Structure 1
Amino acid sequence: MAQHLNAATLLELARAAQQRATSPCACTRTALDGWQSQPLSIDETLFEEIGTLMPEDDPEPTYSEYLPNQTTYWAANAPIAPRYFPYNRCGLWQCSSCGRLYLRYVEGGGYFVDRRIRAVNADLIEDVPLPA
């Protein structure tokens, strides 16, 4: 099982990764600033899972989303709020070539499974508590 990461640790890792990863890489051929269905062109062998945002003590985390100011799920500027869906179901993956970080999870529906991916932008990480 991957190590659970809280928002503070995610932010620290994201800032460090953004300072290191400044050159183009095979993992950046497709813009992944907002959630995307994982492109078939992405070489999965480049990625190593380094942690998870899935809560350790909650087998069924909330499906509530945190989308302030009329932001949408797919938007590149949507906040990354680890306690909210879909972030609370994500693994944190790192490109072994350049060090960039990506969040990945599997969206499941009645007749489909869709692997989704989003690049981590430290400026968008927000530690927002769940409502009581």
Structure 2
Amino acid sequence: MADLPVLDGAGLRALAERSAAVTVACACNEAALAAWTSTPLSFPESQLEDVGTLYLDPYDEPGFAEYHPHGTRYDSADAPVALRHFPYNRCNIATCTVCGRCYLRYTEAGGYFVDRRIRALNRPELVSEASA
């Protein structure tokens, strides 16, 4: 994680715009990933390459406060991508090496489980730099 560049809102928006412009068919785009979901078993994770992170400091535990000014929820497809809020403050950004689509990813670690979560990064209008 330390070798990945920390992205700001402009950088994240640029990746979202690039991802939104991809129209080719690809195995990474077969599942509906508009909202946060557990990474499907059929998702081709081997095609992804991490290109950036939203983790500001790998030695600091980011908070769990979410950002939903318009009544969205964690699992809403139109929830803001709020860089400094949960779960985005724990995310890496990955690009599909086959088609160029971008995804937000983080690992949810509960008491008895670990769950890799994923969300497509293809709606630049949802990127928010609201402070924590």
Determine helix, strand or coil for the equivalent of 2:85.
Answer: coil
| From 1, 17, 20, the counterpart of 2:19 | 17
The gaps in structure 2 that reach 5 residues or longer are none
Partner of 2:79: 78
Partner of 1:31: 32
Q: Is the 8 A contact 2:18 2:101 kept in 1?
A: no
Give the distance between the partners of 2:59 and 2:85, measured in 1 at CA: 13
Residue 48 (structure 2) pairs with residue 52 (structure 1): no
Give the distance between the partners of 2:57 and 2:16, measured in 1 at CA: 21
Partner of 1:101: 102
Size of the aligned set, in residue pairs, is 129
Alignment RMSD:
1.3
**Which digits, 9 at most, give the CA deviation of each residue in 1:80-109, with x for residues without a partner?**
001100000000000111101000000011
Partner of 2:125: 123
Structure 2 counterpart of 1:116, one-letter code: R
TM-score (norm 1): 0.92
Identity among equivalent pairs (%) = 47
Q: Is the 8 A contact 1:4 1:56 kept in 2?
A: no
Give the distance between the partners of 2:62 and 2:94, measured in 1 at CA: 20
Determine helix, strand or coil for the equivalent of 2:106.
Answer: strand
Give the distance between the partners of 1:57 and 1:109, measured in 2 at CA: 19
TM-score (norm 2): 0.92
| From 2, 5, 21, the counterpart of 1:3 | 5
Structure 2 counterpart of 1:40, one-letter code: L
Give the distance between the partners of 1:124 and 1:69, measured in 2 at CA: 12
The gaps in structure 1 that reach 5 residues or longer are none
**Which digits, 9 at most, give the CA deviation of each residue in 1:39-59, with x for residues without a partner?**
000111110000100013761
Higher mean C-alpha displacement, 57-66 vs 93-102:
57-66
